């Protein structure tokens, strides 16, 4: 069985935020919730890097470990999903996740936490595939139609990769080997633009 993973290539991400917008549009996410976000390191400084982050669909997910009502499950494709009918909105997954993936719409009384919402790898929820109920709660179910998550599918620089972990890592490994060759060649764009540039320039 395939194990679905995201990988964001920081050497390619240009912080266009199109993945964020596409996700919101495709899944009609609740107000105030961002299932995906682009984070920039050293913004404006030479060698800045951006990464698109959402749920990592961990193999051993801490959100599932801490959930007091055990509402998480991992699909056969290795996608971590949750059941909004069981979720009680306690916020423990939000504390346990290192990536800040679980989000809470503030629709409860006194602006308390509603049902948790997070990236579903465009795989919907426990409801019947592509049913109206599923779409209303979790957004679109592209995986059941044989499509990959929209954020990765429409990434203009193919920085954000999604799919079977073996395929994703093969693509990335190929890129790294090519980059490694450039680094050994010295002075090729990747090295000069990389985070190590400042250290290299200091020596010169």
Q: Can you give the binding site for another protein, defined by CB under 8 A?
A: 10-11, 15, 17, 20, 32, 34, 37-43, 49, 51, 53, 62, 65-71, 83, 85-92, 94-100, 104, 106, 110-113, 176, 179-180, 183, 190, 194-196
- The residue written with tokens 């795989």 in the block is 123
Rounded least distance, CB 89 to another protein, Å: 7
Indicate the residue among 88 and 167 with the shorter CB distance to another protein. 88
Indicate the residue among 148 and 176 with the shorter CB distance to another protein. 176
Q: Residue 173: helix, strand or coil by DSSP?
A: helix
Rounded least distance, CB 109 to another protein, Å: 8
Indicate the residue among 78 and 126 with the shorter CB distance to another protein. 126
Indicate the residue among 147 and 196 with the shorter CB distance to another protein. 196
Indicate the residue among 135 and 190 with the shorter CB distance to another protein. 190
Indicate the residue among 65 and 130 with the shorter CB distance to another protein. 65
Rounded least distance, CB 145 to another protein, Å: 28
Helix ranges, the chain (H): 18-27, 62-66, 92-96, 132-138, 150-153, 165-185, 189-193, 197-203
Distance of alpha carbon 25 from alpha carbon 4, whole angstroms? 22
Distance of alpha carbon 7 from alpha carbon 37, whole angstroms? 14
Q: Which of 22, 42, 17, 29 is nearest to 137 (CA)?
A: 29
Give the other-Cβ count within 10 Å of 32's Cβ: 12
Residue 29 carries which DSSP code? P
Distance of alpha carbon 95 from alpha carbon 97, whole angstroms? 6
Q: Residue 115: helix, strand or coil by DSSP?
A: coil
């Amino acid at each position: 069985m395939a194990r679905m993973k995201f990988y964001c290539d920081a050497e390619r991400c240009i912080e266009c935020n199109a993945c964020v917008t596409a996700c919101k549009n495709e899944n009609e996410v609740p107000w105030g919730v961002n299932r995906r976000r682009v984070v920039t390191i050293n913004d404006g400084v030479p060698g800045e890097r951006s990464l698109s982050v959402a749920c990592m669909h961990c193999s051993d997910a801490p959100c599932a470990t801490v959930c007091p009502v055990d509402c998480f499950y991992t699909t056969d494709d290795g996608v971590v999903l949750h059941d909004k009918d069981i979720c009680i909105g306690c916020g423990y997954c939000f504390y346990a996740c290192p990536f800040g993936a679980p989000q809470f719409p503030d629709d409860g009384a006194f602006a308390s936490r509603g049902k948790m919402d997070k990236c579903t790898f465009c795989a919907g929820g426990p409801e019947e595939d592509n049913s109206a109920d599923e779409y209303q709660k979790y957004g679109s179910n592209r995986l059941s139609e044989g499509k990959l998550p929209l954020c990765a599918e429409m990434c203009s620089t193919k920085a954000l990769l999604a799919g079977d972990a073996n395929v994703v890592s093969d693509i990335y490994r190929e890129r790294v080997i090519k980059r490694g060759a450039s680094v050994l060649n010295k002075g090729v764009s990747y090295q000069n633009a990389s985070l190590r540039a400042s250290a290299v320039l200091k020596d010169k």
